[in-house]
Structure formats: C-alpha cells, structure tokens
Amino acid sequence: MLVSASEGPLASAAPDSGPAVVRSARTPMARSDRTASRTDARLTPSMSASCRSPGRRSPRWRLPCRISASMWSMTSWWARALLPRFALGSGSGTSCVATRRNIRYVTNVDGLTIRLMMTPTSTSWGQTRQDSSKMGSLEGVRVLDLSRILAGPYLTMLLGDLGADVIKLERPEGDDTRSWGPPFVNGEATYFWSANRNKRSVVLDLRDDSDLAAALELAATADVVVENFRPGVAERLGLGYSQVQRHNPGVVYCSISAFGDEPQASDLAGYDLLVQAVGGLMSITGTEESGPAKVGVALVDVLAALHGAVGVLAALRHREATGQGQRVDVTMLQSLLASMVNQSSAYLGTGVSPGRIGNRHPSIAPYQTLRSKDGSIALACGNDKQFRSLARSLQLSTLADDLRFHTNADRVAHCDELIEILESRCATIPKTDLLALLRDAGVPAGPVNSIGDAFEMAEQLGLDPTRMLSVGDRSIPQVTNPIRLSVTPVRYRLPPPVLPARGPARD
C-alpha cells in the first residue's frame, strides 16, 4: 500500500485502529484528546448508559472506570464478542459499533431500549478542548474513497472540506482524470485538481490478493465508503456493502451508478455525456437550429455527487442517534430527472415533453439573453412589476399597457414579438450603459461573462472565490467551497495528492 509522499504516511489509517465514527454532541472529543488516548497508559473512559421504555422517562447514569491503553485497543473485539454475551445482548434489534474512539451498543429487550456508549478521555483535567473553529463539522469521520473520475471524488472532496479524513484509493496508473487534458500544468491535469483536494492517496492494485486484503482492511476502518464501480464489480471484489458491513456494521456505504444495479442496467456505461443524452437534458438544451446540445460541464456528475453527499450526511446522523449504518444508493439518471425540476414536472403534469428553446424560459418572459450594441446581456423579469420597470427604463412605457404583454402568460404567448421590440431598442445602447440603466431600475440583468470574468466578479463582490493550497514547492489553485459555516468553517488542508510511485505493497 503506497501513500502519496506529499501528504505523509497513512499512520492514522492503520487497520487495527478500528472504524471512525461521528461524534455525538453529548460526548465530543477533540483531536488532541484522541492523540493523548493513544499514548497515555492511563485512560479515563466514561461509560454512559440509558434505558428507555415507551411512554416513560428513564434514568441516566455514568459509570467512571479506568482501563489501560492495551485494554482500550481491544475494544473492537470486546464490544463485538463479549458485550452481546451479557444481559444486555439478549434482546432483539441489537446493534453494536466498536471503534478506536468509542463503543456504541444499542439493544431492545422486551420494549426497553438500552443504549451504551463508552468514550476514552484524557486524564489531564487541565487540558482544554480544541477550538471548534479549528475543527471541521466532520472531524473524526474517516472516508474511504473507492471512486474515480468525478461524481464520487467530488462527493468525497465535499466531505473532506467539512473535516473528514479522506483516503483515496487509486489504481497503479492513477485516477482516469490524471490523464484528462489539456490543460496540464507542470505535468498535472487540472481536471484532477477539481475534485480531489483534502485527500490522501493510496495506490492499491485490486487484482493483487495482498493489495485487495489491504483495501478490505481500510474498509473495515472507515465510517463512510464511497464507490462507483460498475454494478456487480464491488461484490465480485469482496468490497460490496454486505461484505463490508459484515466486518464494519456501522459503515455508511454510498454507491453511485449511472442507471442503478438492476440486471437491465448492468451493461449501460455511465459517462456524464451519455446520461445527459438519455436523461433528456440534451433535448431541452440548444435551439431547433443547433440540434441537441450538452451542457458545458459534467453537470450530472456534480448533481449526483450533491445528492449523494446529502444522503451520506443523513445516514451519518441516523448512525449517531442509533449506532446503525446503512447503504446510500444514488443514480445519475434519477439525480438528473429530479434536478430538471420544472421541466420534469411539466412533463408529468401534461404528458408532453418540453423542447429546445435556446436561452428562453418555457414559462417566463422576458427571461433570456438579449443583444446590446456591443455584446450580450442576460435579462430575467420574473414578475409584472419588473416588466413595467424594464419598459420605463428603456423608454418603452407603452409596452406595459399593451394587451399582448400585460401579464406573464401574455408575454410568454407573444414572446417572439416582445423580444423583437426589446432587442431593437437594446441594440442601440452599449452593454455597460444598458446594464446600468437596468440596475438603477431594479431590473435583474447581468453580463454574459467568461469564466475569467466570473471569477473577477466574485472577487469584486468579496466572495473570496479561490484558495492556493501548497505542500513544499507544489502549489495548486482551488475554487473555494460555496458553503459558509459560522462555527466549523470549511478547511483547506491538503492540495490534490500526487500519485505515489509504483512499488511493492506495504502496510
């Protein structure tokens, strides 16, 4: 097992350390506490148990005790092998998750729910808890990233941004996107940069028995496993959900596929372009003259990643409350159908498939691009008040009283006539002056920017759109995460990892 040299050894990913868990709000532990618990021979675990019977408030008690570091290292075996043999383990609906940081045991005995958690803490009473602003929301969560290309890697990058420890497993030749270019900068593909920060890289050849065994051990130590193998491949390798869950019952296992894992989908390839095509997005993108057009970025991959991330976070919250892991399945096709929102809803309501209308909107007018004297702008009038303001600002006040344009439905029905009038006026006004007129009138409008212009605009608005992540003499520019958290902000810890050199597997 080879680890990216730029990110250091994978010491914290040792297989015998047990899977990470999401910390309960009732038993938080800072990173410094966890480090101390591995080195201090005298630990003070606190055992918290609660019993609850339906309709009855139950007592809660805490039992302090001391165990040695060597005893604590046996907690995974102790909880899974010994706890179920005590009186607590005779009921139905029992779950037990033992990890390097705590033991969570939940059982149900004759309608009585018993929850047990044991957490090691430092013996230093004077030690202060780490400032939460320096910790991520997912501090202590370990993610094994078995995915490649974009949807899975983007999902795990989001988890890494929120503080999770992400271990990216790569083939000896590396992730496909390491070779997707141009552009390349200093020999590295910028495509790979876009979805792989805040990760450490491990090279394993899953065709090799010893490397496959190492991957299985990493899966046994993970809170979250993310994969996007073709249907059936993970199971054939022994890395499927049921196989991982057998050794790691609390695991949250996320599978991303193009079309699902039913037999009829098994031979369908899952690239973004194909899903845009078969999912209907290309049928509503472009104009009748241009024919079907794809969106200018792998949008469906990103949508699947976002839906998958929500599913993973929901599953982690459920596990925090119950100790129970689960599988999260996301398909690119379903993510696209859900994300086409009003267009999908229009089809379901009418039975008529929407068509291509270019930059226009099927239900709002004027809501499209318009040509000015020296360039294009985007105009978005979402209600009658904004349309009246538009007419006044362009000195076309009679438009607001024209029965063809009186309401939004009227304007949609007579859109061609409306746009002809607006463009004939806008074509006489320079773009900068036109935008100033519309802005002063409170009409939503903006320039059609290049990507470079968009970054510059975000900078001017104080959005801080970029970060430079550096290790040694290697610096990688990154787009900032759009999520802003007031207490546990996004952290930018590691640049996208370099691929370790090929060599013999090692622990």
Catalytically active residues, by annotation: 301
Tokens of 151: 């949807």
Tokens of 318: 């459920």
* H or E segment and range at residue 159: helix 151-161
Q: Which of 183, 181, 178 lies closest to 168 in space, CA to CA? A: 178
Tokens of 221: 């130590």
Residues 315, 243 contacting (CB under 8 angstroms): no
5-9 LR contacts (CB < 8 Å, sep 24+): 5/498, 5/500, 6/471, 6/472, 6/474, 6/495, 6/497, 6/498, 7/199, 7/200, 7/201, 7/471, 7/494, 7/497, 8/200
Tell me the CA distances in angstroms from 455 to 450, 459, 460, one per residue in order: 9, 6, 9
Cα–Cα distance measured from residue 382 to residue 376, given in angstroms and rounded to the nearest whole number: 19
Q: Which of 268, 261, 282, 338 lies closest to 306 in space, CA to CA? A: 338
Block residue for tokens 């044991």: 118
> Could you tell me how far CA 142 lies from the centroid of its own chain?
14
Residues 497, 196 contacting (CB under 8 angstroms): yes
Q: Which of 217, 223, 255, 98 lies closest to 159 in space, CA to CA? A: 223
310-315 LR contacts (CB < 8 Å, sep 24+): 311/254, 312/155, 312/159, 312/224, 312/226, 312/252, 312/254, 315/252, 315/254
Cα–Cα distance measured from residue 404 to residue 407, given in angstroms and rounded to the nearest whole number: 8
Query: Which runs of E-coded beta strand occur in 82-221?
Result: 92-98, 103-109, 112-119, 142-145, 165-170, 184-185, 188-189, 199-203
Q: Which of 117, 120, 124, 100 lies closest to 47 in space, CA to CA? A: 117
Q: Which of 470, 506, 505 lies closest to 205 in space, CA to CA? A: 505
Q: Is the peptide bond before 182 cis (omega within 30 degrees of 0)?
A: yes
* H or E segment and range at residue 476: strand 474-479
Block residue for tokens 């390839």: 269
Tokens of 39: 């080195």
| Beta bridge mates, 256 | 330
